Amino acid sequence: MSNKMWGGRFEAGPDAIMEAINVSIDVDRHLYAQDIAASKAHATMLAAQGIIAADDAKNIAQGLDTILSEIEGGTFSFKRALEDIHMNVESRLSELIGAGAGRLHTARSRNDQVATDFRLWVRDTIDLLDASLAAYQRALVDRALEHADTVMPGFTHLQTAQPVTFGHHLLAYVEMASRDRGRFADARRRLNESPLGAAALAGTSFPIDRAATAKALGFDRPMANSLDAVADRDFVLEALSAAAITSVHLSRFAEEIVLWTSPLVGLVKLSDKFTTGSSIMPQKRNPDAAELVRAKTGRIIGALSALLIVMKGLPLTYQKDMQEDKEGAMDAFAALSLAINAMTGMVRDLVADKAQMERAAGEGYATATDLADWLVRTLKMPFREAHHVTGRIVGKASESGVALDQLPLAAMQAIEPRITADALAVLSVKSSVASRTSFGGTAPKNVREQAESWLKRLQNDAISG
Ligand code: ARG
C-alpha cells in the first residue's frame, strides 16, 4: 500500500530496506511536544486569517490535545510506516477528528515543520543545560568558599609550580562554566527565530501571519528568508559547539579528579557514592564517574563533527541528509546533561586532604619564586639576577635534601650575603598564597571576595531565570 500522507502518485509501498533507512520516528518522536505546539499555533493562525474555518481549528486543537495526552500517557501507538513524528501525529488526528484534520497542513510543509520543531527542542534543551550549569557553578562556589584558605600545589607541565588555594582552583571552573553558559545563551538568541510558514521552501500563496505563529511559539520573529529557514541547521551546530567546549572543560576537571584521587597523589577522596569497587581487588575505589565524564566528551565532539560533515556541501534547500541532525545531537545533549550533573555530585561529595595538599604544595621548591621576588623587592635586584641567585639556593637545598624554608640562613648567605632572616618568612606556602593579592590572584582574601560575588550573581540568575 502506498503512503496515505504523500502517496497520491504511488501505487506500491516501499521496499522494507527503503522503509528501514527512511524512517525517523524512533528519534523524532522526542519532538512530539514541540510538534504539537507548533501545529496548534499554525491552526489557530490559519483560522484567524480566515484560511480555515474556526470550527476546524477548534477540532484540530482538541484532537492535538488528545494526542498529547495519549503520547504522555504511553497509549499512543507510533507507526514506522508513517515515517516520522509529523505524519504520526497528523494520521492520528484524522482518526480522531476525520477529514478536517487534512486542513492542518495548509500553507505548511514537513520542511518548515521539522525546522520549527527542532529549533523549539534545542531551545528547551539549552534552557535545561543552563540550569544544570548554574547548579554546577553553585556547588563549585560553595566548596571554594569552604576552601578559600586551603593550600594546594599549582602545576604547569604537571610539575609543582607555585602554591595556590584549592578555592581558587575551583573558581577557575566557575569562570569556564560561565563562558559555557554565555555560548549557549548566544546560540539561543540566534536560534530564536521561527521557520514556520516558510512552507516547503518558497513561502506560500495563502495570507498567513508568520509573526503570529512566531509569537505564539515564543520566537522573537519569523525568519526572513524561506530558503534559509528550511535549509540551515546552524542552530544545532552552534549548540553542539557550545556543548563540545563545555564537555572539554568538564573532561579536564574530571581528569584532575582521577589524578587527585589516585593513591599516588592523594589530594582528594570521593565517597562510596561516587566510586565503585573492583570485582577482584578488594582495596580499590575507582573514580568511574569522573572517568565517564572524561569519556563522554568523545561522543559530544563526535556529534558536532558528524553534523558538520552531513551539512558540508549540501545544496539549498532541504535535503533528506538533514534528517541525520537529530540522533547524534540528542545523544550528545543527554550525555552532556549527565556529565554536568555527575560533576556537580562529585564537587559536593569530594573531601580534600588538607594536610596532604599543604605538604604537596611545599614540595618541589614551590616557593622559589617568592624568594626571587623578595630579592627583587628588598635588595632591588633585577628579576633575571634574582632568578639566577634563587636557582643556586634551590640547588643548594636540593643537594642537602631539605626544603627551601629548612635551609640554614648561613647557607643562603654564602650565595647572597645580603639575604636576611626576613626572607625566610616568605618561603612558607601559607605566606606565598597570602601574598598573591593581584586581581585574579590566588590569595585567600581574593578567593573569598570572588566566591561571594559569584554567590550573588548566581542568586540573581536564579531570580531572573
Ligand atoms: N523526518 C524528516 C526530517 O527529520 C522530516 C522532514 C521531511 N521532509 C521531507 N520533505 N521529506 O528531516
201-244, pLDDT tens digit by residue? Answer: 999 999 999 999 999 999 999 999 999 999 999 999 999 999 99
Q: Is the dihedral of CA 236, 241, 245, 248 positive or negative?
A: positive
Q: Which amino acid is at 427?
A: L
**Which residue's CA is minimally distant from atom 12 of ligand 1?**
323
**Which residue's CA is minimally distant from atom 7 of ligand 1?**
110
Residue 284 has what pLDDT?
Answer: 79
Nearest to 83 by CA among 125, 21, 135: 21
**d(CA 69, ligand 1 centre) in Å:** 24
Residue 1 has what pLDDT?
Answer: 60
Query: What is the rounded distance in angstroms from the CA atom of residue 452 to the CA atom of residue 431?
Result: 23
**d(CA 193, ligand 1 centre) in Å:** 19
Mutation to probe ligand 1, out of 18, 35, 323 (largest number of atoms < 8 A from CB): 323
Q: Which of 77, 157, 279, 438 is catalytic?
A: 157
435 is catalytic: no
Global pTM value: 0.94
Task: Please give the span between the terminal C-alpha atoms of the chain, in angstroms, as a whole number.
Answer: 51
**Which residue's CA is minimally distant from atom 2 of ligand 1?**
323
**d(CA 323, ligand 1 centre) in Å:** 6
108 touches ligand 1 (CB under 6 Å): no
pLDDT (tens digit per residue) in 418-453: 999 999 888 999 999 999 999 999 999 999 999 999
Nearest to 216 by CA among 57, 64, 42: 42
Ligand 1 atom closest to 320 (CA): 12
Residue 105 has what pLDDT?
Answer: 97
pLDDT (tens digit per residue) in 376-391: 999 999 999 999 999 9
Residue 461 has what pLDDT?
Answer: 82
**d(CA 110, ligand 1 centre) in Å:** 6
Mutation to probe ligand 1, out of 3, 320, 321 (largest number of atoms < 8 A from CB): 320
**d(CA 109, ligand 1 centre) in Å:** 9
Residue 339 has what pLDDT?
Answer: 98
Query: Which ranges of the chain have pLDDT less than 70?
Result: 1, 4, 463-465
Residue 12 has what pLDDT?
Answer: 83
Q: Which of 2, 69, 271, 278 is catalytic?
A: 278
157 is catalytic: yes
| Contact status, residue 123 vs residue 37, Cβ threshold 8 Å | no
**Which residue's CA is minimally distant from atom 3 of ligand 1?**
323
Residue 282 has what pLDDT?
Answer: 75
**d(CA 189, ligand 1 centre) in Å:** 25
**Which residue's CA is minimally distant from atom 11 of ligand 1?**
320
pLDDT (tens digit per residue) in 100-134: 999 999 999 999 999 999 999 999 999 999 999 99
Mutation to probe ligand 1, out of 35, 90, 109, 110 (largest number of atoms < 8 A from CB): 110
5 touches ligand 1 (CB under 6 Å): no
114 touches ligand 1 (CB under 6 Å): yes
Residue 6 has what pLDDT?
Answer: 73
